[in-house]
């Protein structure tokens, strides 16, 4: 039984104008004019966008993590998204021109929590999933925290904005599966050493579920809090369709929560990453 939750209280539906759409490597960096919505956006939040146009058969919205938000500027508030043109919806969005208006709902979901005291933090991002971490890094730095960042991907071209990452944090480590830049190997392989060297006290992560699972295991071994933004397909983004459920521990039982409302930012130690064990428990 899922406890009823309310949609993000700050969420509104607007027609957002495309201010900029630039290709950055394999991704698109898109800026939207969102007026008052920007002031309510926090690192970890996302927006749900209607894609395909009025005559399209793509009836479901697509969820995109907010890269940055600014409540100031010549056009008022704005938000930035980093989009990988993989499916029909994301390809349509990446093809939109400056001046087009997009049906958008946001900000949605939970945001990253910030330590109440100065802490040594480690931010870990995989591919374009690392986008929300850049705004988080700024918040943590302003809070007085030490910020170390790890960005990883299958190959060098898929690491988003490594130069910006270097400017935003105390130290930046790059990893690639093919060894084309940085450390050769999966991102999780570099984490134990960095935790020891930087005396990490809190871990934040964004990226593929397999990566988040590996990081969560390491965080538990070191007894470090781990906040992660889960990547589950969201068909509505407002808790109605039940397609984005994630199994979590709940007083010795399994509870299915909606990542669009109870997440996407969740406590990594509470998530049941081994889905086979969930199926075994539900169907003994």
pLDDT greater than 80 at residue 235? no
pLDDT of residue 274: 82
Q: How confident is the model at residue 123 (pLDDT cuts 50, 70, 90)?
A: very high
pLDDT of residue 236: 74
pLDDT of residue 5: 47
Q: How confident is the model at residue 163 (pLDDT cuts 50, 70, 90)?
A: low
120-233: CATH number: 3.40.50.80
Q: For 39-70, how does the pLDDT look when each residue is reduced to its tens digit (9 = 90+)?
A: 999 999 999 999 887 766 667 888 999 999 99
pLDDT of residue 250: 80
pLDDT greater than 70 at residue 144? yes
Global confidence as pTM: 0.89
Strand locations in the chain (E): 12-24, 27-33, 46-49, 62-70, 78-83, 101-108, 120-126, 146-153, 171-176, 183-184, 202-206, 226-229, 245-250, 253-258, 265-267
* Euclidean distance between CA atoms 135 and 111, whole angstroms: 11
pLDDT greater than 90 at residue 98? yes
pLDDT, mean of residues 241-265: 87
- The per-residue b/e assignment along 89-113, b for 16 or more CB within 10 angstroms, e otherwise, is bbebbbebeeeeebebbbbbbbbbe
Please report, rounded to a whole number, the percentage of residues in the chain having pLDDT higher than 90.
60
8 A C-beta contact, residue 191 and residue 226: no
pLDDT of residue 56: 67
**Burial of 70 from C-beta contacts in 10 A (0-12 / 13-18 / 19+):** middle
Range of lowest pLDDT (65-69, 99-103, 228-232): 228-232
Domain with CATH 2.40.30.10 in the chain: 12-108
Q: How confident is the model at residue 12 (pLDDT cuts 50, 70, 90)?
A: very high
pLDDT, mean of residues 242-265: 87
C-alpha of 220 from chain center = 21
pLDDT greater than 50 at residue 160? yes
pLDDT of residue 3: 36
pLDDT of residue 95: 96
pLDDT of residue 4: 41
Q: Which two tokens stand for residue 111?
A: 């945001």
Domain with CATH 3.40.50.80 in the chain: 120-233
The answer, yes or no, to whether the previous bond of 104 is cis (omega within 30 of 0) is no
Quickly list DSSP for 119-138: -EEEEEEEGGGGHHHHHHHH
pLDDT greater than 60 at residue 283? no
Q: For 177-225, how does the pLDDT look when each residue is reduced to its tens digit (9 = 90+)?
A: 999 999 999 888 999 999 999 999 999 999 889 999 999 999 999 999 9
The CATH architecture annotation of domain 12-108 reads Beta Barrel (2.40)
Please report, rounded to a whole number, the percentage of residues in the chain having pLDDT higher than 70.
90
The answer, yes or no, to whether the previous bond of 225 is cis (omega within 30 of 0) is no
8 A C-beta contact, residue 251 and residue 226: no
Q: How confident is the model at residue 280 (pLDDT cuts 50, 70, 90)?
A: low
Mean pLDDT of the chain: 88
Q: Phi, psi at residue 140, to the nearest 5°?
A: -65, -40
Query: For residue 137, which of 209, 217, 205 has the smallest C-alpha distance?
Result: 205
């Amino acid at each position: 039984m899922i406890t009823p939750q309310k949609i993000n209280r700050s969420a509104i539906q607007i027609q957002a104008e495309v201010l900029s759409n630039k290709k950055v490597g394999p991704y698109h960096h898109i800026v939207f004019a969102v007026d008052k919505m920007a002031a309510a956006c926090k690192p970890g939040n996302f927006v749900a966008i209607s894609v395909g146009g009025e005559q399209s058969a793509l009836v479901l919205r697509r969820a995109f993590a907010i890269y940055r938000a600014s409540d100031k500027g010549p056009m008022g508030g704005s938000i930035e998204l980093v989009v990988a043109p993989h499916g029909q919806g994301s390809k349509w969005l990446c093809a939109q021109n400056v001046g087009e208006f997009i049906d958008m709902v946001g900000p949605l979901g939970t945001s990253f929590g910030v330590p109440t005291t100065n802490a040594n933090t480690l931010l870990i991002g995989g591919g374009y999933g690392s986008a929300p971490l850049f705004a988080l890094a700024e918040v943590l730095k302003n809070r007085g925290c030490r910020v170390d960042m790890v960005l990883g991907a299958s190959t060098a071209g898929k690491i988003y904005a490594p130069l910006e990452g270097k400017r935003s944090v105390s130290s930046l480590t790059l990893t690639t599966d093919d060894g084309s830049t940085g450390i050769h190997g999966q991102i999780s392989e570099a984490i134990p050493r960095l935790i020891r060297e930087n005396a990490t006290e809190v871990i934040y992560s964004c990226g593929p579920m397999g990566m988040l699972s590996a990081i969560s295991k390491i965080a538990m071994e070191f007894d470090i809090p781990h906040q992660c933004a889960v990547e589950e397909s969201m068909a509505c983004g407002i808790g109605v369709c039940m397609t984005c459920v994630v199994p979590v521990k709940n007083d010795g039982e399994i509870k299915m929560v909606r990542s669009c409302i109870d997440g996407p930012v969740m406590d990594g130690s509470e998530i049941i990453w081994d889905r086979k064990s969930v199926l075994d428990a539900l169907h003994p």
